[in-house]
Structure 1
Amino acid sequence: MRVLVTGITGRLGQTVAHRLLEHGHEVIGIDRRPWDDVPAGIEMHNVDLRKRAAEEVFRKSRPQAVVHMATVTHLIERSEERYRINLGGTRVVFENARQCGVEHVIFVGRHTYYGAAADSPLYHKEEEPPMAVNTFPELADLVAADLYAGTALWRFPELCTTVLRIVYTLGPTGQGTLATFLRGPYVPTMLGFDPLFHFMHEEDVATAICLSVERRIRGVYNVSGPQPVPLSVLIRATGRSHVPLPELLFRAALGRFGLPRLPEGALSHIKFPIVVDSAAFRAATGFQHQIDEARSMGEYRDAFPIL
C-alpha cells in the first residue's frame, strides 16, 4: 500500500515511517523540516503542507492512505500560526485526499481533546464533547482540527476516515507534552491534587497507527496502552523531584526556579485527570500494548537523567 505521512520528520513520524516500511508499505513523506538521513525506500518531500507543492505530491504519488501527523501540539508557536497549521493543514489534507482518490485518511489527534475538570468522568468515551475549549483555550485549534476530521465521516462518506485520540507519549525520544513537562529536575504539582496521567510508549503508538492503516477502521477511537499512573508516582519513577505547591504560589513560580513554563489553561491538567476508555479501538484492531508503564518511565529516566 502507498501511504503518505504528513509531519514525517518528527520523532513519532519517523517511527511510524520505519514501521510502515517494515510491513512492506511504500512510504511518501511531507514535512517542512528536512530529514537528513532519510532511509532508502521513503520518498521525501520538503514542502509546506498548505502550499500548491503539497497538492502536487498528492497528485503525482497517488497514495492509497494518508496518516496526518503534521499538527503543532506544543505551545511555543503563536496561536495564529498554530491555528493555520492545525486547522488549515487538516482541511487541506482532506481536500487533497478527495481530489486525488485517496481511500483512507487517519487524523492523529490527542486525548487532551476532552479537557480536564473536577466534574469530568474518570474514563472518557469517544462520544463525549470537547471540554478542552473551556478548560484549556490554548488547545482550541487542535480541538477544531479534531472536529473537522470527524465531520469527514458524514461529509465525505466515500472516504474512510479514522480519528485517533492518543494519550500522552513517553519514552527515550523525550518528545511530547508530558516528556517536556518532566524534563527538568523539579516537577511542580498542585498541593492536594495527584491526578492520574495516561500515557504509552512511542513504539506502541506507532503500532497503533500502523494497525489503523492496515485494518482500515472507520470512526473515532481513543487509543491508550497501560494503566494510568498518579502524577507523584510518575515524577519519582522518572527520577525527578516532586515539588507540591499551593495554587497561588504554583502560578507565581512557573517558569522560575528551574520549574517548567505552562500556559494558564494547563493548570487544570495538573489538578484533574484525563483518562480514556480505548475498548472500541482494541476491539476494532486487536491492539495490545507491548511496553508497560514501568518500562516507559524507566526508559525516559535513563535517556534524560538528572545529573
Structure 2
Amino acid sequence: MTTPKRPHILVTGAAGALAQQVIDQLRDTCDLVAVDFREQVYLGDDIPSYCIDFNKRVFEDLFRRYQFDGVIHLGRIQSSQLTRMRRYNANVLGTQKLLDLSHKYGIKRVVVLSTYHVYGAVAYNPALIDESAPLKAAGLSADLVDSVELENLANIYLWRYPDLNITILRPCNIVGPGVRNTMSTLLASERAPVLAGFSPMMQFIHIDDMADAIVLAYKKPVRGVFNVAPQDWVAYQHALRLCGCKRIPIPSIPPVVPSLILRTLNMRRFPSYLMAFFKYPVVIDGRAFAREFDFKPRRPLQEIFRFYRNNKSPV
C-alpha cells in the first residue's frame, strides 16, 4: 500500500507570528516551504526557509524545485512598515508575481490574507458590513492603496483563473501573543490615546482563531471573498479599560494635533489612516465564513483582554 503524497505548500510572511502558527498546524500533514520578504527565519530542520523578494528571478526557482500544490499568502506588508513605494512593490507587484507563478506552475489552491481596513472608516458605513460592500479605503487614504490593489488583483485572478481556487480572507483586528500590529501595541500599553468624544465599536480575533480560520480555508477549496470576525464587538474605550490601559484623550481636530501627541507618546509607527478607525465603527459580518467553513472562534474577548491586562509593556 502506497503512502498518500503529502501536499507541498508555500507559506509567505514566515517572519510573522500568524504564519508561524499556521505552519505549526500544518507541519505534521504537509511539506512546507516558508518565505518572507523581510528576513529569513528558522522554523526547524524540516521546513526550508528563504528571505526572497518575490519580484526577483530566484523566487521562480522555488516553484520549479518544490512543485507546490498550494500557496498560503500571508506576506502582506503593513502600512507601518517600509516606505510607501517599497510596500507597493511588495504587496501589489509581489502578489502579482506570486499569482502569475501559481498559474504558470499549476497551483490548485491559494489563500490570500487581506484586511477589513479595505472597507474604509466613514461616518455612513452600514452597521454590519458584508463582503459585497465597496472597498472605499483607497479613496480615503494613500496608505491603504496597496492593500486595496492587492485585493483587487487577487479578485481578478480569482475570476480569470478559477483553477487556482483562490480564497480571500478579510479579518478584523488580529491580536494576541506575538502579534506586532498597531492595535496589539495599543492594547498592551500602559496608556493609549483615544479621540475625544469617539469610541467606535471594534472587533478582535485571537491569533489562534485566525490561524484556525486560515487552515480551515485552505483545506476546503471554496473560491471567493470572506470576512473573518466573531459575532461580538466592543467599544474601543471599553476595550482599553478591560485591558488595563490608561486612556489619553486627544482632540481629533486640527489633524496635526493627534500626530504630535502620538509622537510625544513615542508611537512613531502609528499609521495616520487609523485615525478614522478610532472615530467611525467598521463592524464586519463574518457569518458567511462561519457557515461555509464551520468556523467558531475558541478565544472569547474576555480571554483576549485578560492577556493584555496581564502583559503590560510601556509604549
TM-score range, shorter chain: over 0.9
Distance 1:160 1:66 in 2: 10
Distance 2:118 2:112 in 1: 13
1:57-95 per-position Cα deviation (integer Å, ceiling 9, x unaligned): 012111111001111113231111111000011101101
Conserved in 2, the CA contact under 8 Å of 1:72 and 1:82?
A: yes
Conserved in 2, the CA contact under 8 Å of 1:186 and 1:259?
A: no
- Which segment is superposed worse, 214-223 or 260-269? 260-269
What 5-or-longer segments of structure 1 have no aligned partner?
none
Q: Indicate the SS of the match to 1:4.
A: strand
Conserved in 2, the CA contact under 8 Å of 1:187 and 1:260?
A: no
Distance 1:159 1:252 in 2: 43
- Which segment is superposed worse, 45-54 or 103-112? 45-54
Counterpart of 2:51 in structure 1 is: 46
Q: How does 1:131-210 map to 2 (within 5 A)?
A: 131-210=136-215
Which residue, out of 248, 261, 271, partners 1:254?
261
Count of aligned pairs = 305
Conserved in 1, the CA contact under 8 Å of 2:12 and 2:73?
A: yes
Q: Indicate the SS of the match to 1:55.
A: helix
Conserved in 2, the CA contact under 8 Å of 1:222 and 1:278?
A: yes
What letter is aligned with 2:218? V
What letter is aligned with 1:245? I
Q: Offset at 1:43?
A: 2.3
Residues 1:69 and 2:77 are matched in the alignment: no
Q: How does 1:13-92 map to 2 (within 5 A)?
A: 13-22=19-28, 24-32=29-37, 33-36=39-42, 38-92=43-97
Distance 1:180 1:92 in 2: 32
Conserved in 1, the CA contact under 8 Å of 2:168 and 2:225?
A: yes
Which residue, out of 275, 278, 300, partners 2:283?
275
Residues 1:10 and 2:16 are matched in the alignment: yes
Q: Offset at 1:306?
A: 5.2
Conserved in 2, the CA contact under 8 Å of 1:170 and 1:300?
A: no
Q: Indicate the SS of the match to 1:77.
A: coil
Distance 2:178 2:231 in 1: 19
Which residue, out of 293, 297, 302, partners 1:285?
293
Alignment RMSD, CA only?
1.8
Distance 1:112 1:13 in 2: 20
Q: Indicate the SS of the match to 1:107.
A: strand
Counterpart of 1:126 in structure 2 is: 131
Conserved in 2, the CA contact under 8 Å of 1:5 and 1:29?
A: yes
Distance 1:252 1:222 in 2: 30
